[in-house]
Amino acid sequence: MAERIYIFDTTLRDGEQSPGASMNIEDKLQMALQLERLGVDIIEAGFPIASNGEFEAVREISKVVRSCTIAGLSRSTRADIDRCWEALQDAAKPRLHTFIATSDIHMEHKLKMSREKVLQEVRESVAHAKQYCADVEFSAEDATRSDWDFLVQVFHAAIAAGATTINIPDTVGYITPVEYGRLINYLCERVPETEYVVLSSHCHNDLGLAVANSLAGIENGVRQIECCINGIGERAGNAALEEVVMALRTRADHLPYSTNINTSEIYKTSRLLSSKTGLVVPYNKPVVGRNAFAHEAGIHQHGVIQKALTYEIMTPESVGRPRSTLVMGKHSGKHGLRKRYEELGYQISDAELSDIYKRFTALADKKKEVFDDDLISLVEDEYSLVDEVYELEYFQVISGNSTVPTCTVRLRKGSESIMDSATGDGPVDAVFKAISRISETSGKLLDYRVQSVSEGKDALGEVFVRVDFGSRTVVGRAASTDIIEASAKAFLNALNKVVGRGGAKGTPA
């Protein structure tokens, strides 16, 4: 039987530190539940000491997710560890994850500690964490730029104090696969106690080597991989979960290891994260990118038609990705729609189906062809719905190369219809300004992205916006065959996330 590799997902902690990737508590909880369905072994839910919101997110995830280990990150201070445990204590399987930097450059310039002081901190922090929790992970931050002999001392100390998982992070994405393998072998030879703990890799992608280094870690004794969905994370990101998992599955001949991941949930998880953060997956992204299973060259198309294995080393279905084929039309009923969603892996309640079906029929009237990706976009819209304080009733845009772009918008708020107009630098800007005038809010647009959901001239356009409302920055998302309409609805989606909780008109929550 293949040896087990544990998947430690840090999308909600390290991944969320990507610029623009912050999520609210509801978003994090929905992501955590999807990660549970995906089958990850450990979810690093956050850094509780960082903020009250971060603390509450970790605590709520700990209460709801029952089949995964829930980890919280803390620095080596007692206050951090205490706060972390307070957030984790309701988890069915809690883990305290504590860390301290061990490279000379970090110890001198950031910590301003001697090696002796760092060793003392390691012993005391792990021992303090162990008083709360049997499952304690210790990470040597910037391990790959640390003195190897000092790392030996650090890991001796951490294991002696009770650490059950030892993480060897490539914090700045500096090392190469061969070097990383040598480092792990060196540590295993000189710290024989590693035989009784789990060794872990946490690799960043600054040189594009995060997945390669993670696999090198596995080949040399690592049995836990710390990674993120879509490879998001600090700077250039972390090792991508989907790439590590599918590399192990596809190359089982060379890497005879197994994971607990339900790979058919990979694509859905990738899409959910993208919809929550507004970070669009690049078309050429391995496994989950739009072009990952696309073939344009004639010789490739011919080969795939004859036998998919000629150019596809894995199938779209193996990662839960639908092939973009025509599946539904305007004459399709609710039963057929529900069945197709079940085939795509979605379990939808009667109430959700009714709402989705209304939007499906409206879309089917606009489009001649409704693809699986269109259906996925509709269900993502349903899952991302917020309290609609403001609802779009009508808009009209006047624009041209010699015309001042002007937009008239009518919004419904409760039983009241409110209309106003505004000019802007372009039609989308005019729409946003008109909505802001009606809602009496001042939102600064930080990011605006458009991508095609499916194929054809009548394809759904998916719009992501990131808007700063002063005390809060939120992501809005919407899709439509009309990009201006999608833009208006995405901006409203962001706005409603703010005013929907604050109560007062135009007051951020």
Cα–Cα distance measured from residue 410 to residue 396, given in angstroms and rounded to the nearest whole number: 9
Share above pLDDT 70 across residues of the chain, in percent, rounded to a whole number: 90
Question: Which residue in the block uniquely carries the two structure tokens 């809005």?
Answer: 476
3-277 fold:
TIM Barrel (3.20.20)
- Provide the H-helix boundaries in 71-111: 78-88, 104-106
391-502 fold:
Double Stranded RNA Binding Domain (3.30.160)
Tens digit of pLDDT for each residue in 78-106?
A: 999 999 999 999 999 999 999 999 999 99
pLDDT of residue 273: 94
Overall average pLDDT of the 376-400 stretch: 81
Using the predicted structure, report yes or no on whether residue 59 has a pLDDT greater than 50.
Answer: yes
Tens digit of pLDDT for each residue in 201-258?
A: 999 999 999 999 999 999 999 999 999 999 999 999 999 999 999 999 999 999 999 9
Contact assessment for residue 407 and residue 430, using Cβ atoms and an 8 Å cutoff: yes
Cα–Cα distance measured from residue 259 to residue 266, given in angstroms and rounded to the nearest whole number: 13
Contact assessment for residue 372 and residue 346, using Cβ atoms and an 8 Å cutoff: no
Write phi, then psi, for 181 (nearest 5 degrees).
-60, -40
Contact assessment for residue 464 and residue 490, using Cβ atoms and an 8 Å cutoff: yes
- Which of the residue ranges 119-133, 231-245, 364-378 would you say has the lowest mean pLDDT? 364-378
Overall average pLDDT of the 467-473 stretch: 83
The per-residue DSSP string of 306-331 comes to H-GGGT-SS-GGGGTPPP--EEE-TT
Tens digit of pLDDT for each residue in 394-428?
A: 999 999 988 999 999 999 999 999 999 999 999 99
Cα–Cα distance measured from residue 318 to residue 305, given in angstroms and rounded to the nearest whole number: 18
Using the predicted structure, report yes or no on whether residue 299 has a pLDDT greater than 50.
Answer: no
Tokens of 355: 């709402």
Q: How far apart are the first and last CA of the chain?
A: 53
pLDDT of residue 327: 54
Tens digit of pLDDT for each residue in 21-48?
A: 778 899 999 999 999 999 999 999 999 9
> pTM (2 decimals)?
0.80
Query: What b/e readout covers 389-401, taking b as 16+ CB neighbours within 10 angstroms?
Result: bbebeebebeeee
Write a three-state SS string for 329-396: CCCCCHHHHHHHHHHCCCCCCHHHHHHHHHHHHHHHHHCCCEEHHHHHHHHHHHHCCCCCCCEEEEEE
Which of 382, 342, 332, 336 lies closest to 359, judged by CA?
Answer: 382
